[in-house]
Amino acid sequence: MEMRAVAYDHPDARRLVAEVQQEYVRRYGDIDVTPVDPADFSPPRGLFVVAYVDGAAVACGGWRAHDGDEEDFVDGDAELKRMYVVAAARGRGLARAVLAELERTALAAGRRRLVLETGTRQPEAIALYTSSGYAPSANFGVYKTEPESRCFAKSLLGPAVGSDAGDPGVAATGLAAG
């Protein structure tokens, strides 16, 4: 497997994002309407990666910086978006590898916490995130009040101090999707 940082609007990234949007349609009846600007995933305040196996783009994910001047975020936050693995490549650890790379690069860029939103109809995403140290956190974003929305957070600096993982002011330990 080879992982490459690419622009969010790179042809391989666009194809994988379109596929994950169709997965949302299949599971929830509509695409993810969270506003996304491709520039949000440009270094140093973001990154988008595509994983390739035998030259084929098979997985993707990205992070974009957020800070405390934005509702529901604290300084040093990065939001995971568009984690996806094509059906034919699932079960090989690619999502976990993409997630690890996103965590590594977000920390290297000075981000202190990763946050994400997923939904109850994505149990495999919830399992990935929780098994990777993500903990439930306060809901945020477009789906903040949706009953099927689930948000998670993980401190990139080590174990959390305090006990309220739902408080955006407390670094939470946690897990992947978006």
The contacts of residue 29 (CB under 8 Å, 6+ apart) are none
For 69-160, strand residue ranges (E) read 77-85, 113-119, 135-137, 149-155
The arrangement of strands across the sheet holding 46-53 comes to: 2-5, 46-53, 56-66, 77-85, 113-119, 149-155, 135-137
Measured over the CA atoms of residue 130, residue 134, residue 138 and residue 139, the dihedral's sign is negative
pLDDT at 158: 75
* Nearest-angstrom CA–CA distance, 87 and 90: 5
User: Under CATH, which number does the domain 2-155 receive?
Assistant: 3.40.630.30
pLDDT at 159: 63
The stretches in the chain having pLDDT less than 70 are 159-178
**Buried/exposed 86-95: b ≥16 CB within 10 Å, e otherwise:** beebeeeebb
pLDDT at 164: 39
pLDDT tens for 12-46 read 999 999 999 999 999 999 999 999 999 999 999 99
Q: What does the block give as tokens for 128? A: 């990935």
Q: What does the block give as tokens for 120? A: 């109850």
Residue 41: CB atoms within 10 Å: 24
Q: Are 61 and 84 in contact (CB under 8 A)?
A: yes
pLDDT at 177: 37
pLDDT at 58: 98
3-state secondary structure of 103: helix
